[in-house]
Amino acid sequence: MTDLSSTPAIPVTIHRGDYRPPEWQVPDIALDFALGIDETKVAAALSVVRQADAPAPLVLRGDGLTPAAVRVDGEVWNDWHMDGGDLIVDLGERTAATVEIETVINPAANTQLMGLYASNGMLCTQCEAEGFRRITFHPDRPDVLSRYRVRMEGDKAAFPILLSNGNCIERGEEGSDHWALWEDPWPKPSYLFALVAGDLVVNKDSFTTMSGRKVDLGIWVREGDLDRTGHAMDALKNSMKWDEAVYGREYDLDLFNIVAVGDFNMGAMENKGLNIFNTRYILADPDTATDLDYDGVEGVVAHEYFHNWSGNRVTCRDWFQLSLKEGFTVFRDQSFSADMGSPPVKRIEDVRLLRAAQFPEDAGPLAHPIRPDSFQEISNFYTATIYNKGAEIIRMMATMVGPERFRKGTDLYFERHDGEAATCEDFVRAIEDGADIDLAQFRLWYGQAGTPRITARIGTDAATGERTLHLAQLVPPTPGQPDKAPMQIPLRIKAFDLDGGHGAEEERLVLLDRAEMAVPLGRYRSRPMLSINRGFSAPVIVDFAREEDELAWLAAHDDDPFARYEALQQLMLDTLVAAVSGKGGGSGAVIEAVAQTLAGRTGDPAFVAEAVLLPSEAFIGDQMVTVDPDAIRRERLALQGAIGAALEAEWRGVLSGDAPAATDLSRGAKGGRRLRGVALAYLAAAGLDDAAALAFRIFSDADGMTERQAALATLAHGDSEERAHALDIFYQRYRDNPLVLDKWFQVQAWSLRPDTVDAVKELARHPDFTLANPNRVRSLYGALTGNQAAFHRADGAGYRLIADLVIALDPKNPQTAAKMIPPLGRWKRFDEGRQALMRAELERILAQRGLSRDVTEQASKSLA
Ligand code: 0A1
Ligand code: ZN
């Protein structure tokens, strides 16, 4: 009767085209938890209703569970069997029934952090995507929506706080135990279920919605962390207000709780009415969090809150539609953060991230469309493509129709699909109907992977002086997609006229929708200065050969700040790529442009700080046929040093005077600190005698983490005495604060020193290092994979270290282990020696016995 074999050795591939509606719905579910850290008993009562016309078995998914008892309509039931981990119940001719199942789980042994697990004595859940099946048997698919009633009981002293989704409708005590009954009136898929039990304290506040309803807000943390929850609370209230103002979306329960937990695989989770967060995105105070950490808290709090509509009220039909909720919600949180701060700086940050994380994914063996066609393990698809490229695709629609029509489209989407499990196609149709636009060709963005490449060229009619912009697009082949059709690509362009013959230039939106297209620009006496893909209106690569003086002109004069940033970055990139390929022509133009931009720093220092930053080593590598990590590091450091030395007075000028008070979180203060960090890095790169002393002084005088971390990171690149001293001071001061200790590991793994791989190896043996905490793993090993020259050390030591980690971590936490594989999968971009070393490590990983589905899928696809 029972076959408890777990995951099959060869992962099964699931195809989008195989989707079938559920044969049974579960309109109501009652869960009863008898809580214990190493034994929790779960009694589930599922009211099931048949949807299929003919009798069909009830398939309840399970992962690592044994059914302790099965009853149907109150009677002991024997017509069931196991299929792998799943429980199949034969209900005969019935069209409705109540199925009761008991399971017993061990949260303390749950190192995967999926399902119900223990973190620091507290119990919490993570159910997206397929964690609910580790708690009880259930269809566990997002198109099965139920009303939940949850009773939990446990030791009062161990679990003084008992939380679940919705409203607490009853509570009581029994000896040393107490219990609570929670009810969520909104039907939801199982991935949005949550439960928390632990010793927590709360920051309470409230928000009055646009229709005048009072909502109680609570942010629950461990004792001692309470005074670091203020920023998250402000972010929550601002998000609630913003969603009402910008999307007309009001919160729909009387209570909204957030719980922060130290052990968490991702950033946070949007469970209905009970968001669970990685502490990293809740806790912030000036002493322990940088300005970027503050922005991260604001953005993630908003993201999870916005999911209440884009994700919860309208959810996904199946996991292939993941970008329906994630792409849209990222777009919403990006717009929110832009409104809260500086729109151009936010756009620059978002594009930087897209280029760093998504473009390489789209160009490698793991490339997939934002709506994938197949997967083996859905956890592997929480990617930059689904999230960030997904957001770009929503942004393009918004750009094409403008804000008012876009709002009509989203209103229609929410109205049509409220309470439903929808598809990406539903979203596109709602925008088409609501915003009145034909998106027939645009839909290709959902199905075609790969970053489109656009070549641009300006032609001139010698007789008339008419200029024409010639555009061509190519969508590169990706795994399983050798041939692509031309896409619809919205490009914001403007052609500046330098000698007044053309008259006023206007920006326009060109819809490139063919393989090639000619766009008349009009008459210009001299060559127009073309600003193209302004604001990064489309997630594409534009190849457009421009001279240094054109880029310098645009960097100084373009009226779109993003385009100014792009022009300066392109100038730096051209200079660096030339230097790396041995065709260096000098750094004069870059230095001049940086000086010009710096001269304008009184405007928006945050923008200036972003604009004068050199492109990352990885992005320089992305421009090359074969990445040469050592030459890239050498040339980037040389250019950084040259800029540092040539503009020494300017950088010192930036650093002169006091830093803004760390408690000042205004835009100006944050921008000022950001620019000071950049200035310090330039001075240090110039190798000035007093650089280490200066960095150490800033480190010691700092009244907050932004300055302190920037100075420490700068010192960490060098080998001064001050380096060791500062690292030691930092460690002693913050050894009891896990989030700050993460930074201590991270700055060392980011170091540009040649011995960084050895240092990381050593740090992995540090008593404070642990594989049990995903943040710690990411802060050490994740930072190393982002350190190009270190990770790609020619002898393969970096690759070996990451493969060793994957092998050691997989049995404990396959999800986090699998996330470390993509950097090894980029082997095709490197020289033969590195290729062989990288492939060998992937093969070594795959040769392990009992490998998870997560790691198997990522490693095998990476070798293809
Ligand atoms: N939906 C969440 C992301 C998330 C996904 C899976 C998780 O399982 C470990 C956790 C969180 C979001 O977009 O924020
Ligand atoms: Zn999300």
**Going by CA atoms, what residue is nearest to atom 10 of ligand 1?**
266
Beta-strand runs (E) in 310-452: 315-316, 374-375, 421-422
Give the largest Cα separation in the chain, rounded. 96
Q: What is the dihedral of CA 537, 541, 546, 550, to 10 degrees?
A: 30
Which ligand approaches the C-alpha of residue 819 most closely? 1
Ligand lying closest to the C-alpha of residue 276? 1
Tens of pLDDT, residue by residue over 752-773, are 999 999 999 999 999 999 999 9
CA 1 vs CA 100, 279, 856: distances in Å:
18, 44, 30
SS3 218: strand
- Considering every ligand atom, which ligand is closest to the CA of 306? 2
Which ligand lies nearest to the CA atom of residue 270 in the structure?
1
627 CA to middle of ligand 1, Å? 33
pLDDT tens digits along 433-452: 999 999 999 999 999 999 99
CA of 299 to the centre of ligand 1 (A): 14
Residue among 135, 310, 377, 382 whose CB has most ligand 1 atoms within 8 A, to mutate: 382
Closest C-alpha among 807, 829, 826, 828 to residue 818: 807
- What is the CA(32)–ligand 2 centre distance, in A? 28
The predicted-structure confidence for 9-23, as pLDDT tens digits, reads as follows 678 999 999 999 999
> What is the rounded distance in angstroms from the CA atom of residue 394 to the CA atom of residue 327?
7
Q: How far is the CA of 330 from the centre of ligand 2 (A)?
A: 7
Contact between residue 829 and residue 627 where contact means Cβ atoms under 8 Å apart: yes
* Ligand 1 atom closest to the CA of 114, numbered from 1: 9
Which residues does residue 24 pair with via DSSP β-bridges, in sequence order? 50
Ligand 1 atom 8, closest CA: 128
> Using an 8 Å Cβ cutoff, are 127 and 192 in contact?
yes
Atom of ligand 1 lying closest to residue 815 CA? 9
- Residue-level pLDDT at 585: 76
pLDDT tens across 483-520, in order? 999 999 999 999 999 887 776 689 999 999 999 999 99
| pLDDT of 5 above 60 | no
Closest Cα to atom 5 of ligand 1: 128
Mean pLDDT over 611-617 rounds to 98
- In percent, how much of the chain has pLDDT > 90? 96
**Closest residue CA from atom 3 of ligand 1:** 269
Most informative mutation of 116, 126, 128, 264 for ligand 1 (most atoms within 8 A of CB): 128
Q: What sign has the CA pseudo-torsion 166, 169, 174, 176?
A: positive
What is the tens place of the pLDDT at every residue in 782-813?
999 999 999 999 999 999 999 999 999 999 99
Q: Mean of the pLDDT values across residues 158-174? A: 98
Q: Write out the residues surrounding ion ligand 2, Cβ under 5 A.
A: 326, 329
**Amino acid at the residue 331:** F
Share of the chain above pLDDT 70, in %: 98
Cα–ligand 1 centroid distance for 272 (angstroms):
13
Structure-block tokens of residue 453: 């490449």
* Cα of 129 from ligand 1 centre, angstroms: 8
- Ligand 1 — pocket residues by CB below 6 A? 126, 128, 265-270, 303-304, 326, 382
Average pLDDT of the residues of the chain? 97
Q: In terms of Cα–Cα distance, which of 482, 486, 478 is closest to 511?
A: 486
Instruction: Give pLDDT, residue 143.
Output: 99
Which pLDDT belongs to residue 3? 40
- Looking at residue 2, its pLDDT comes to 38
Query: Per-residue pLDDT for 162 more than 70?
Result: yes
- Which neighbouring-strand residues pair with 138? 61
pLDDT of 7: 45
Q: Look at residue 1 in the predicted model and tell me its pLDDT.
A: 38
Ligand 1 atom nearest 300 alpha carbon: 14
> At 72, phi and psi to the nearest 5?
-125, 125
> Which of 323, 417, 327, 421 minimizes the C-alpha distance to 375?
323
**Interface pTM (ipTM) of the complex?**
0.99
* Closest CA to ligand 1's atom 9: 265
Residue 683 Cα to ligand 1 middle (Å): 40
pLDDT over threshold 90, residue 749: yes
Residue 327: alpha-carbon gap to chain centroid: 10
- Whole-number Å distance between alpha carbons of 139 and 42: 16
For ligand 2, the distance from its centroid to the CA atom of residue 399, given in whole angstroms, is: 22
| Residue nearest ligand 1's atom 1 by CA | 269
* Secondary structure (3-state) at 175: coil
Looking at residue 209, what is its pLDDT?
99
Is 507 catalytic? The answer is no
CA distance 26 to 317: 15
Tell me the CA–centroid distance for residue 268 and ligand 1, in Å.
Answer: 6
Question: In the predicted model, is pLDDT for residue 4 greater than 60?
Answer: no
Q: Which ligand is nearest to the CA of 815?
A: 1
Mutate which of 125, 134, 269, 333 for ligand 1? The one with the most ligand atoms within 8 Å of its CB, which is 269
**Digit-coded pLDDT (tens) for 255-310:** 999 999 999 999 999 999 999 999 999 999 999 999 999 999 999 999 999 999 99
Q: How far is the CA of 267 from the centre of ligand 1 (A)?
A: 7
Q: What is residue 9's predicted lDDT score, i.e. its pLDDT?
A: 62
CA angle 263, 268, 270 (to 5 degrees): 135
Which one of 266, 301, 380 would you pick to mutate in the ligand 1 pocket, going by the greatest count of ligand atoms within 8 A of its CB?
Answer: 266
Protein residue whose Cα sits closest to atom 7 of ligand 1: 128
The count of C-alpha atoms lying within 13 angstroms of the C-alpha of 586, restricted to the half-sphere facing its C-beta, is 5
pTM of the model: 0.98
DSSP conformational letter for 475 = P
pLDDT in tens, 376-403: 999 999 999 999 999 999 999 999 999 9
**pLDDT of residue 109 exceeding 60:** yes
Q: Which two tokens stand for residue 136?
A: 């009880």
Burial (CB < 10 A; 0-12, 13-18, 19+), residue 538, is: buried
Which of 100, 128, 270, 304 is flagged as catalytic?
304
pLDDT at 502: 72
Residue for token digits 């777990």?
A: 6
Q: 835-863 b/e with 16+ CB inside 10 Å = b?
A: eebbbebbebbeebeebbbbbbbbbbbbe
